[in-house]
């Protein structure tokens, strides 16, 4: 029998991660977009409001889920619960990831969900009508989604499998021949190692691409950093979401909206 609190507990972890990730484009907005919104005596980029609102909504959703599922989080998932958690969690996190597109007025509800799903699955399809006219922070978020999607397929699946109880683990015991070994710790360790490898290779590719853009093509430091990160996300996540409509074939002009106060 499916125990709903255990499923909700697994989903809440994805909601919390989505909320944290939604804060990253704010850093990009401060660095590369005009500070055109006055808050007291400070000027901030107006494009940060959709991300702040989306992150706040994730927090408001996660807090009650965490309270309700506090005890269930310590329990192992059954096979059916794991499948249900992955399916529902993917849909919930995709809907939350699409909120910045909706809150910024860039896309409608269905298009926002489509854009987020396309990014997380590395499909490469887009609902944006004008990529070069879209805020840099929003394009960075779109690129980040495809990178997170690639990481999720590799790492989160292994991490979720590590919570399966005996029924689910019997399959892995038969396949690996490890009948006397607890496989859950091994699967969790595998997830961590895969995550480290993914992060390490990404950092390496970003550094190499930065050197090419900065010293071979003569880009400014700030632009080269942003371009190298987004292009690496696009290539490594296999989604091809970059900052420009013509991807790597754009000219070396300034990034759209890159002037910061």
What local confidence, expressed as pLDDT, does residue 105 receive? 93
User: For residues 115 and 126, is the Cβ–Cβ distance under 8 A?
Assistant: yes
Q: Which of 147-156, 158-167, 242-251 has the highest mean pLDDT?
A: 147-156
Residue whose structure tokens are 């009650």: 64
- 43's enclosing H/E stretch is strand 42-44
pLDDT in tens, 89-129: 889 999 999 999 999 999 999 999 999 999 998 888 889 88
Q: What is the mean pLDDT of the chain?
A: 82
Task: Please report, for the chain, the start and end positions of each structural domain, with discontinuous segments joined by +.
Answer: 75-249
Q: Please, where are the H alpha helices in 78-182?
A: 79-97, 99-103, 109-121, 136-151, 157-161, 166-176
Confidence class for position 22, pLDDT limits 50, 70, 90: very high
Confidence class for position 164, pLDDT limits 50, 70, 90: low
What local confidence, expressed as pLDDT, does residue 163 receive? 55
What local confidence, expressed as pLDDT, does residue 215 receive? 92
Partner residues linked to 75 by β-bridges = none
Q: Is the pLDDT of residue 169 over 50?
A: no
Q: Is the pLDDT of residue 237 over 90?
A: no
What local confidence, expressed as pLDDT, does residue 250 receive? 61
Partner residues linked to 38 by β-bridges = 43
Query: Is pLDDT larger for residue 31 or for residue 77?
Result: 31
Q: Is the pLDDT of residue 212 over 70?
A: yes
Cα–Cα distance, 229 to 21 (Å, whole number) = 15
Confidence class for position 156, pLDDT limits 50, 70, 90: low
Cα–Cα distance, 29 to 177 (Å, whole number) = 51
| pLDDT (mean) for 173-182 | 46
Confidence class for position 150, pLDDT limits 50, 70, 90: confident
Q: Is the pLDDT of residue 192 over 90?
A: no
The percentage of the chain sitting over the pLDDT mark of 90, rounded to a whole number, equals 43
């Amino acid at each position: 029998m499916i125990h709903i609190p255990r499923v909700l507990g697994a989903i809440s972890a994805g909601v919390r991660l989505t909320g944290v990730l939604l804060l990253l484009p704010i850093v990009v907005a401060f660095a590369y977009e005009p500070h055109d919104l006055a808050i007291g005596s400070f000027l901030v980029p107006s494009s940060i409001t959709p991300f702040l609102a989306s992150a706040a909504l994730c927090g408001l959703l996660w807090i009650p889920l965490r309270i309700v599922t506090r005890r269930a989080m310590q329990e192992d998932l059954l096979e059916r619960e794991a499948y249900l958690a992955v399916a529902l969690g993917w849909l919930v996190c995709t809907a939350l990831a699409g909120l910045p597109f909706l809150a910024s007025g860039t896309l409608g509800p269905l298009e926002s969900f489509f854009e987020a799903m396309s990014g997380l699955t590395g499909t490469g399809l887009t609902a944006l009508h004008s990529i070069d006219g879209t805020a840099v922070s929003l394009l960075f978020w779109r690129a980040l989604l495809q990178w997170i999607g690639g990481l999720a397929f590799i790492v989160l699946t292994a991490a979720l499998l590590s919570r399966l109880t005996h029924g689910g683990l019997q399959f892995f015991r038969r396949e690996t021949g490890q009948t006397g070994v607890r496989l859950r710790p091994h699967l969790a360790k595998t997830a961590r190692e895969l995550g480290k490898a993914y992060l390490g290779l990404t950092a390496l590719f970003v550094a190499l691409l930065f050197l090419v853009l900065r010293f071979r093509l003569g880009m400014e430091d700030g632009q080269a950093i942003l371009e190298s990160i987004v292009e690496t996300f696009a290539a490594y996540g296999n989604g091809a979401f970059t900052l420009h409509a013509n991807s790597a074939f754009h000219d070396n002009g300034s990034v759209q909206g890159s002037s910061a106060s």
